[in-house]
Homo-oligomer: A and B are copies of this chain.
Amino acid sequence: MKIGVLGTGIVGPTIAAKLAALGHEVAIGTRDVPSLMARTELGMGQKEPFSAWIAKNPAIRVAEFSEAAAHGEIVFNATSGARSMEALGQAGADNLSGKIIVDLGNPLDFSRGMPPSLTVCNTDSLGEQIQRAFPDARVVKTLNTVNALIMVNPQQVAGGDHHVFVSGNDAGAKAEVTSILKDWFGWRHVVDLGDITSARAAEMYLSIWVQIFASMGTTMFNIRIVT
């Protein structure tokens, strides 16, 4: 399948590499390709500059947001949540129309220091903002509740016996994304939280995720729902 992945921080390359390893034709999107390739400073959690990473992943095409979105039959939003609306605007409504947008973003606001707050929450969410801005796309919020490594390899934690969530208005899109999570990434437990307004819940969960991270000293954790 042709897949567009928007975002070149930690999450985008992790998702792109996994999809490429599964045999898909992946284009990874950024705002400006030459400046991305020239960048040498490392972002939060990055181990190497993007240029070094992409040199080891030659099957993945690097493109502007709009070209990556146009390429994808399905598009992953892996941009930082606070900038996702701008990035998707650059991707362009025409290039997203009719497509599933798998929204992985967390609208974290680090401007007040740590722990981050959210730029939007409680009565709205990034997932809803995206769905409203691109009414012809089918937004499914998922995977934002775990780190990038766990997103594509949940077996790394507790043998995969833990939960991930999906939110979205389109039942068919949610079913398709659930299949991607299970069949491609190896998730065993996918909980349908409801329509796209339930993205508020998945995004507000980040607040306790950050505190658990601070308490435990690792991001390699997830939650299992027990009854």
Residue ranges of A at the interface with B (Cβ–Cβ < 8 Å): 112, 115, 117-118, 121-123, 157-158, 161-162, 165, 191-194, 197-198, 200-202, 204-205, 207-208, 210-212, 214-216, 218, 220-227
- Assuming A123-B112, A208-B205, is B227 touching A226 (CB within 8 A)? no
User: Are B194 and A200 in contact, CB atoms less than 8 angstroms apart?
Assistant: no
- Which B residues are CB-close (under 8 A) to A204? 121, 204-205, 207-208
User: Are A202 and B208 in contact, CB atoms less than 8 angstroms apart?
Assistant: yes
- Which B residues are CB-close (under 8 A) to A207? 122, 200-201, 204-205
In the complex the two chains form, what is the Cα distance from A226 to B122 in whole Å? 27
- Assuming A121-B122, A201-B207, A205-B205, is B221 touching A224 (CB within 8 A)? no
Residue of B nearest to A159 (CB): B226
In the complex the two chains form, what is the Cα distance from A200 to B225 in whole Å? 21
- Which B residues are CB-close (under 8 A) to A208? 165, 193, 201-202, 204-205
User: Are A226 and B222 in contact, CB atoms less than 8 angstroms apart?
Assistant: yes
- Which B residues are CB-close (under 8 A) to A197? 115
Residue of B nearest to A120 (CB): B122
User: Are A226 and B225 in contact, CB atoms less than 8 angstroms apart?
Assistant: no
Q: How far is the CB of A21 from chain B (nearest CB, A)?
A: 25
User: Are B221 and A211 in contact, CB atoms less than 8 angstroms apart?
Assistant: no
- Assuming A123-B112, A157-B227, is B214 touching A194 (CB within 8 A)? yes
- Assuming A193-B208, A208-B205, is B223 touching A227 (CB within 8 A)? no
A121-B204, A221-B226 given; 7 more Cβ-contact pairs under 8 Å: A117-B122, A157-B226, A158-B226, A162-B226, A193-B214, A204-B208, A216-B227
User: Are A194 and B223 in contact, CB atoms less than 8 angstroms apart?
Assistant: no
Q: How far is the CB of A2 from chain B (nearest CB, A)?
A: 32
User: Are A212 and B224 in contact, CB atoms less than 8 angstroms apart?
Assistant: no
- Which B residues are CB-close (under 8 A) to A224? 223-224, 226
- Which B residues are CB-close (under 8 A) to A161? 226
Set B117, B191, B211, B215: member contacting A215, Cβ < 8 A: B191
